[in-house]
């Protein structure tokens, strides 16, 4: 009863949390399997940003619970944001769940599973499900272990009685690094402060050591993660000559030999002071791609959302970044249909959306999250209006993406080769602007930066051919 499958819902931070849990479990002797059909333990790492995300996970758990009738020792666990948000209340709908673990208790999962396994092996009945959603000081420091694809391949190949994985499994060349947990922003629409707790940063030396260790294992690109990543260390480190702790961290990661590219998400517009803008001009490893959540283009709605910036300030940041790097790529988050949003205020959002000329965007229809200030605001917007506004912005986004990608046809872009594409017939990688590319290549180029001539483009993907100037295709 040691085969574990972790299914992850939601954001990149959830992906990173799941990977850390997998690493902890593997160190305890558990096997991480790729298919939920092959597991003895299924862990659902959940999201609470929207009600639809919670309902999806609840539906999945309900559908899986029937396995207990066929496999009495099967273990079902719910982790993460929904576990934190709903706690023991989940058992009213999902009485067959064995384990509910919140966002500050991921590191306790191996112990809890050990206890469940030991009790069942001894024939001892378990009185109730385990529920742990308590806060824990220092919990942000537990998300530090990694399971890279090469580790998984080696573990599968070396396990007694297992079918070995392909010996040619490509190395993992990009990784997420958690630097900060929690949020103190209290946006009116957002449940994250409740599910993730107060802002907490990891020690800078630990983060740098983690990145250095990843580089030693072949990782070439790191993405620094935090709820408000640009707030990193603001209570723990001093600004030095106008340089924020976050930019200080970027400097130190930039200096690591072997790390070729640096990304980060998710920032807040207020974090883009002059030091961060200038960092894009002096750090060649810092990719020219920014995720800059706008949420709304209306100053009144921004105030109602408790977002401490104006549309004018937001666009100043966009222009400042493009002044430093004219080819900068931008993505954003937008909420349409926030309570009280008028047609005129949506038009202000549409106008700013067009002026910012995004390459990618996550457009959300406002969803009531119980326990947030916006949930009790009057003048809730109808679903039909939300849907229409959502469709308008998605239409603009598609045109922007097609237009921007078309300008790259005939040009040479630097691409970091990641490995085979989904078909296994070609290779894939990303540009510095985070565009996915498909091309023919030699497997020996995995982890290398290569010049790619773009020959054609779709809405989200570039297709090209390697430029053979000393590069073996």
360-374 pLDDT, tens digit per residue, is 999 999 999 988 999
Alpha helices in 274-423 (DSSP H): 274-282, 299-305, 311-324, 343-356, 383-406
In this prediction, residue 171 carries a pLDDT of 87
DSSP letter assigned to residue 88: G
pLDDT band per the 50, 70, 90 thresholds, residue 68? confident
* Average pLDDT value for the chain: 93
How far apart CA 135 and CA 163 sit, in angstroms, is 41
Kindly report the length of the chain: 473
CA dist list (Å): 43 to 20, 23, 117, 146, 471: 13, 14, 15, 18, 43
**What is the arithmetic mean of pLDDT over 252-275?**
97
**What is the arithmetic mean of pLDDT over 47-63?**
92
Tell which residue, 200, 8, 162, 190, has the closest CA to residue 85. Answer: 190
In this prediction, residue 123 carries a pLDDT of 79
User: Which CATH code of 2.50.20.10, 3.40.47.10, 3.40.50.300, 2.40.50.140 fits the domain covering 412-466?
Assistant: 2.40.50.140
Is the CB of residue 393 less than 8 Å from the CB of residue 350? yes
Is residue 385 classed as helix, strand or coil in its secondary structure? helix
Phi, psi of 45 (to 5 degrees): -95, 115
173-287 maps to CATH 3.40.50.300: no
Share of the chain above pLDDT 90, in %: 85
Q: Which long-range contacts (CB under 8 A, 24 or more apart) does 151-160 make?
A: 151/26, 152/32, 155/26, 155/31, 155/32, 159/31
241: left (phi over 0), alpha (psi -120 to 50) or beta: left
In this prediction, residue 170 carries a pLDDT of 80
**What is the arithmetic mean of pLDDT over 281-301?**
97
Tell which residue, 196, 193, 332, has the closest CA to residue 267. Answer: 332
Token pair 């020792």 is at which residue?
Answer: 73
Angle in degrees, 0-180, between the axes of helices 311-324 and 274-282, rounded to the nearest 10: 20
Answer whether residue 207 shows pLDDT above 70.
yes
Tokens of 82: 């929904």
Answer whether residue 127 shows pLDDT above 70.
no
The distance between the two most distant Cα atoms of the chain, rounded to a whole number of Å, is 68
Tokens of 230: 């640009």
Answer whether residue 159 shows pLDDT above 60.
no
Please give the radius of gyration of the chain, using alpha carbons only, rounded to the nearest integer: 23
pLDDT band per the 50, 70, 90 thresholds, residue 162? very low
How would you label 70-98 residue by residue, b for 16+ Cβ within 10 Å and e otherwise? eeeebbbbbbbbbbbbbeeebbeebebbb
Query: Domain segments of the chain: what residues?
Result: 3-142, 173-287, 412-466
Token pair 């990694």 is at which residue?
Answer: 146
**What is the arithmetic mean of pLDDT over 7-20?**
95
Answer whether residue 91 shows pLDDT above 90.
yes
**C-alpha torsion angle, residues 214, 216, 220, 223 (rounded to 10):** 20
Q: Let me know the angle formed at the C-alpha of 267 by 266 and 268, rounded to the nearest 5 degrees.
A: 130
Phi, psi of 59 (to 5 degrees): -60, -40
Q: What is the pTM of this model?
A: 0.93
How would you label 137-173 residue by residue, b for 16+ Cβ within 10 Å and e otherwise? eebbebbbebbbeebbbeebeeeeeeeebeeebbbbb
Answer whether residue 166 shows pLDDT above 70.
no
Dump pLDDT digits (tens) for 428-470.
Answer: 999 999 999 999 999 999 999 999 999 999 998 999 999 976 5
In this prediction, residue 462 carries a pLDDT of 98
How far apart CA 378 and CA 341 sit, in angstroms, is 11
In this prediction, residue 121 carries a pLDDT of 82
**What is the arithmetic mean of pLDDT over 271-290?**
97
Determine which helix (DSSP H) or strand (DSSP E) holds 435, and give its type and residue range: none
User: Which CATH code of 3.60.20.10, 3.40.50.12160, 2.60.40.420, 3.30.465.10 fits the domain covering 3-142?
Assistant: 3.40.50.12160
Determine which helix (DSSP H) or strand (DSSP E) holds 251, and give its type and residue range: helix 245-254
Answer whether residue 161 shows pLDDT above 90.
no
Answer whether residue 245 shows pLDDT above 60.
yes
In this prediction, residue 323 carries a pLDDT of 98
How far apart CA 451 and CA 422 sit, in angstroms, is 22
Tell which residue, 229, 207, 215, has the closest CA to residue 148. Answer: 215
Q: Mean pLDDT check: name the lowest of 88-97, 126-135, 292-301, 378-387.
A: 126-135
Is residue 223 classed as helix, strand or coil in its secondary structure? strand
**What is the arithmetic mean of pLDDT over 113-125?**
86
How far apart CA 2 and CA 14 sit, in angstroms, is 22
How far apart CA 363 and CA 371 sit, in angstroms, is 22
**What is the arithmetic mean of pLDDT over 134-162?**
77
pLDDT band per the 50, 70, 90 thresholds, residue 158? low
pLDDT band per the 50, 70, 90 thresholds, residue 20? very high
């Amino acid at each position: 009863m040691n085969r574990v499958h972790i299914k992850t819902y939601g954001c990149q931070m959830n992906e990173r949390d799941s990977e850390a849990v997998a690493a902890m479990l593997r160190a305890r002797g558990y096997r991480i399997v790729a298919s939920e059909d092959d597991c003895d333990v299924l862990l659902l790492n959940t999201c609470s940003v929207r009600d639809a995300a919670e309902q999806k996970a609840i539906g999945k758990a309900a559908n899986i619970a029937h396995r207990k009738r066929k496999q009495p020792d099967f273990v079902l666990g719910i982790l993460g944001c929904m576990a934190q948000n709903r706690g023991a209340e989940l058992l009213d709908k999902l009485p067959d769940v064995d384990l509910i673990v919140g966002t500050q208790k991921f590191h306790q999962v191996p112990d809890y599973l050990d206890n469940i396994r030991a009790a069942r092996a001894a024939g001892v009945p378990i009185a109730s499900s385990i529920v742990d959603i308590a806060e824990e000081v220092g919990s942000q420091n537990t998300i530090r272990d990694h399971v890279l694809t090469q580790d998984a391949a080696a573990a599968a190949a070396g396990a007694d009685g297992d079918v070995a994985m392909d010996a040619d499994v490509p190395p993992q060349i990009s990784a997420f690094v958690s630097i900060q947990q929690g949020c103190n922003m209290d946006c009116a629409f957002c449940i994250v402060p409740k599910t993730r707790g107060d802002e907490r940063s990891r020690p800078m030396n630990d983060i740098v050591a983690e990145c250095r260790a990843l580089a030693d294992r072949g990782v070439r690109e790191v993405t620094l993660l935090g709820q408000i990543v640009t707030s990193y260390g603001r209570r723990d480190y001093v600004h030095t000559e106008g340089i924020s702790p976050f930019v200080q961290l970027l400097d130190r990661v930039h200096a690591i030999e072997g790390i070729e590219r640096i990304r980060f998400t998710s920032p807040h517009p207020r974090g883009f002071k002059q030091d961060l803008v200038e960092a894009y001009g002096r750090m060649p490893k810092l990719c020219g791609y920014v995720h800059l959540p706008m949420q709304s283009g209306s100053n009144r709605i921004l105030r109602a959302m408790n977002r401490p910036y104006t549309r004018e300030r937001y666009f100043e940041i966009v222009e400042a970044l493009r002044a430093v790097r004219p080819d900068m790529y931008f993505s954003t988050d937008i909420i349409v249909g926030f309570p009280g949003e008028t047609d005129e205020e949506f038009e202000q959002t549409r106008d700013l959306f067009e002026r910012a000329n995004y390459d990618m965007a996550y457009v959300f229809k406002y969803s009531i999250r119980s326990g947030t200030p916006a949930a009790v605001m009057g003048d809730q917007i109808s679903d039909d209006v939300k849907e229409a506004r959502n469709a308008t912005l998605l239409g603009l986004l598609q045109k922007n993406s097609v237009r921007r990608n078309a300008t790259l046809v005939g040009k040479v872009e630097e691409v970091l080769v990641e490995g085979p594409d989904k078909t296994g017939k070609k290779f894939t990688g990303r540009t510095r602007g985070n565009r996915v590319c498909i091309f023919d290549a030699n497997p020996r180029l995995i982890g290398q930066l290569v010049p790619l001539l773009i020959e054609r483009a779709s809405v989200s993907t570039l297709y090209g051919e390697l430029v053979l100037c000393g590069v073996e295709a």
